Amino acid sequence: MFCSVLLLATLSRCISGDHLNPNNFFYKDREEYNDQFNGTKLRVFAPQPTVFAINGSATILPCKFWYEPEPSSLPEVWIRWTYVLGRWAEDTDVMVATGSSFRDFGSYSGRVKLRQDFPGDAALVISGLQPSDIGRYHCEVVDGQEDGSVTVKLELHGVVFPYQHPAGRYKLGFVGAQQACESQAAVLATPAQLLQEWKEGLNWCKAGWVTDGTVRYPITKPRDECGGECLDPGVRLYRKLYENRDEFDSFCFTDTLGGTVYYLTPASDMTLAEAQQACQNDGAQIAKVGQLYAAWKFNGLNYCNGGWLDDGSVRYPITKPHDNCGPPEPGVRYLGFPPPQAKYGVFCFKAT
């Protein structure tokens, strides 16, 4: 109880401001409070512990509270949302609210509000989502007598793709994996993003780095060369058995395109240098791998001809599988890193 009172005092200081109404909180009459809510237990719950949303859109982080047994009326409560920075760092305030009074903070100013669709609804609405918004959020409800909390994780919806070094399989350390993804208009994927992509059908028998420093690979169709047929489908995790093996591939993530990717139809196929020049002559740049995946995922790009990309690889995107265009599943087909003198078409990118 003492901790709850201290927290209320802290929240009272946080929520005060020139634009807020004075707050006469109910705990001024503790005897009246105890008489009405004695024996009740505050419950706080998140119906959806992980939320996936699209960059630039609005989303809702669910949080609701109730009492057991249910009192005749809900007490006035303080609701505090924070962004969780880590075990040893202090959480960052997102907003605090009670009744009709609220205050938002920092980069969240003007972008957040409470939904309040029903009694006990403490869901947080965030608009104009940014990549920096990804992470864990803490919803805390305080009523003066006790407090309860729950954590909700926010992930951006996009596409995860495997990526290897041009020199071949398993040539990237953790930092190198981060840099490789960033060089191709993407970032290193989180474990949750890789898990979500596996749920959507990603099946890849090569291990790659993700953001927490672990190495994983997603399997939807178990087979001998990928951990054995007897194992269930899932995202495999490399453990200490491989602690001395510090070079793998990477899993990259992109959630935005920011332009148009198109196949430039040349008079004849081109070397890599000729392909780069052809895109420049067309007022564009040679497309990066992340941009091709984004165009395939978000815009439905479908083209059954291999084309050069920025990293020197040759790939082509298929959303409508058909004969002579690879496997029966949609995907971005990978033809490797041919010699730069080899001749193919090219995928170009024009920013909007």
Is-contact 56 129, C-beta < 8 A? yes
Flag whether pLDDT at 5 surpasses 50: no
110: part of which helix (H) or strand (E)?
none
The pLDDT of residue 224: 85
Q: Give the strand pairing for 78-84 and 92-98.
A: antiparallel
Share of the chain above pLDDT 90, in %: 62
Residue ranges and CATH numbers for the domains of the chain are 2-156 (2.60.40.10), 160-254 (3.10.100.10), 259-351 (3.10.100.10)
- CA dist., res. 231 & res. 221, Å (int): 10
71-118 pLDDT, tens per residue?
877 788 999 999 998 777 789 999 999 988 999 999 999 999 999 999
Query: Identity (one letter) of the amino acid at 196?
Result: Q
How confident is the model over 209-220, as a mean pLDDT? Answer: 92
The pLDDT of residue 23: 31
> How is residue 188 annotated by DSSP?
E
How confident is the model over 31-54, as a mean pLDDT? Answer: 75
186-210 pLDDT, tens per residue?
999 999 899 999 999 999 999 999 9
Query: Identity (one letter) of the amino acid at 27?
Result: Y
In this structure, what token pair is assigned to residue 270? 């081109």
DSSP secondary structure letters along 233-256:
SEEEE--GGGTT---BEEEEEE--
143-169 per-residue burial string, b: 16 or more CB within 10 A, e: under 16: bbbebbebebbbbbbbbbbbbbbeeee
Instruction: Give me the residue label for tokens 């305030």.
Output: 93
292-341 pLDDT, tens per residue?
999 999 899 999 999 999 999 999 999 999 888 888 999 999 999 999 99
Instruction: Give me the residue label for tokens 């005060």.
Output: 16
The pLDDT of residue 38: 61
The alpha-carbon radius of gyration of the chain (Å, integer) is: 26
Under the phi-then-psi rule, with left for phi > 0, alpha for psi from -120 to 50, and beta for the rest, what region is 267? alpha
231-278 pLDDT, tens per residue?
889 999 986 445 456 899 999 999 888 899 999 988 889 999 999 999
Task: Name the more confident of 288 and 88.
Answer: 288
Least confident window among 58-72, 138-152, 174-188, 220-234: 220-234
Q: How far apart are the first and last CA of the chain?
A: 55
- CA dist., res. 24 & res. 26, Å (int): 7
Using DSSP's 3-state secondary structure scheme, residue 230 falls into: coil
81-100 per-residue burial string, b: 16 or more CB within 10 A, e: under 16: bbbbeeeeeebbbbbbbbee
Using DSSP's 3-state secondary structure scheme, residue 101 falls into: strand
Task: Name the more confident of 154 and 70.
Answer: 154
209: part of which helix (H) or strand (E)?
strand 208-209
The pLDDT of residue 318: 97
Q: How many CB atoms lie within 10 A of CB 268?
A: 7
Note if the pTM is more than 0.85.
no
Using DSSP's 3-state secondary structure scheme, residue 306 falls into: coil
The pLDDT of residue 245: 63
The pLDDT of residue 168: 93
The pLDDT of residue 32: 40
Nearest to 291 by CA among 188, 207, 181: 181
The pLDDT of residue 226: 86
The overall average pLDDT reported for the chain is 86
